[in-house]
Copies of this chain bind each other. A is one copy, B any other.
Amino acid sequence: MEETGPARQKHRIVIVGGGFGGLFAARKLGGRDFDVTLVDKRNFHTFQPLLYQVAVGMLTTGDVCTPLRVALRHRKNVRTLMSTVYDIDPDRRLLYHESGELGYDTLIVATGVKHAYFGHDEWAGDAPGLKTVEHALAMRRRIFLAFETAEMTIDPAERTALLTFVIVGAGPTGVELAGAIAELAHRTMVEDFRRIDPREARIVLLEGAEQVLPVYPAKLARKAENMLSELGVEIVTDTMASAIDAQGVTAKGPDGERRIEARTVLWAAGVRASRFGEILAERTDAARERGGRLKVGGDLSLPSHPDIFVIGDLAAVTDRKGQTVPGLAPAAIQQGEYLAKQLKQRAAGKTGRDFAYKDQGSMAVIGRNRAVGQLPWMSVAGFSAWLLWVVVHIYALIGSERRLRVMLQWVWKYFTRRTGDRLITGQPPNTRRIHEQHQPAGQANSGDG
């Protein structure tokens, strides 16, 4: 696709990726003398911090996703393209995407990270991660299908394996998933089955480090571990997954290997640069850091290519205060807004200062009404931390209708313990067979949900 129209003369800024970094950069670049194009392979922004609530059926997709066009509706100089960018020619300043080419004067890459299996990509099929809404829905289907199948299973060993959930990795996502599944099984669903008792479900949280939430201070991590234990989560630290298959996990700890038979294994461990991040690094010979993140300068540009900026989880940044910037939503938002400001100043002939990260802390919610938080000035734990978490996340949700809906559901669930959207959508693998035998072509479901 060639670029035409009057916008041609303006300075062309292309943003790849509509996550926190890309979306907030686009918003701040709105209404200026720039011709801005945001390209994303999806037509919506995902509020990743709440994805785990979709995976356990507490929230529904519409609550955590915002159409990019709606978020950018009033930025008339910002065009949104739903397309997958798969290559770049930095010398010709051209992007190649599935629907054609896209020229730029300034490029902002914010394609983030995806989960990584420490060189064991073969585990991906048996241990889904949680980076996209499709992943969250795949997890949701697995979790609830396991309970449905257990209800129909006579063989006790098989039933036990169906009711065993292993979460690999005890960072915030792993902790939140484990807590939410434990709450679901041990509290929310206790009345819902006739043959199985969901309270018998085992939720095992595997962590390679000495404690859950490895980046948190030991005291706070200990509190998180106590909250998880109260919900019935088995915490196994100092232990790594050495093998994962459809039947379960082999875990390697100080006292050797142990096998856990589990039909549901969820991955919350490593991440690595997105595929386009890897391609960008190849094409620009950019330096890589842990997880393949691209090393950028203090102004967030690639040292070798001052017209290419990398922000968000994909960027390895040391800010002007010497801090290593963490891979968190607030950091991505700050980078996106900083960069927009920079580009405006440059257009005005000024040069700005390097990026400085304002640490707003990080939190992990555990169950229905407890959380732990590592704030810049203090640590918080328990109900007060949970309240703070709720306020922060409600406030951050894009779109006031979404805020209302999510708040309404949280309040509702807080008082009723009900879980609404536990839908197993799409054809579960085990029904597809029979289904296709018995349905004419085209009647088979789209697998969408």
Contact = CB atoms under 8 A, between A and B. Distances in A.
B448 A447 contact: yes
A394 B299 CA distance: 53
Given A61-B61, A99-B152, A412-B401, A86 B434 contact: yes
A1 interface: yes
Contacts of A449: 61, 133-134, 137, 425, 448-449
Contacts of A255: none
Interface residues of A, number: 96
A159 interface: no
Nearest to A278: B438
Interface in A175-224: 189, 191-195
A76 to B, nearest CB: 8
B446 A135 contact: yes
Contacts of A191: 73-74
Most chain B CB atoms below 10 A, which of A83, A420, A437, A449: A449
Contacts of A125: 441-442
A152 B65 contact: no
B420 A121 contact: no
B404 A408 contact: yes
Contacts of A73: 191-192
Contacts of A151: 80-82
A312 to B, nearest CB: 19
A270 B19 CA distance: 43
Given A98-B430, A418-B70, A446-B134, A424 B193 contact: no
Contacts of A425: 42, 61, 133-134, 137, 448-449
Interface string A160-173: 00000000000000
A445 B189 CA distance: 28
Given A133-B425, A134-B445, A401 B409 contact: yes
Interface string A417-436: 01111111111001101110
Contacts of A441: 121-122, 124-125
B98 A192 contact: no
A41 B431 CA distance: 8
Interface in A138-160: 138, 141, 144-145, 148-149, 151-152, 154
A63 interface: yes
A368 interface: no
A335 B374 CA distance: 58
Contacts of A141: 446, 448
A419 B44 CA distance: 13
A252 interface: no
18 contacts: A43-B423, A61-B61, A61-B62, A67-B423, A76-B194, A82-B424, A83-B152, A84-B434, A84-B438, A86-B438, A99-B152, A125-B441, A125-B442, A132-B445, A138-B448, A275-B438, A275-B439, A447-B448
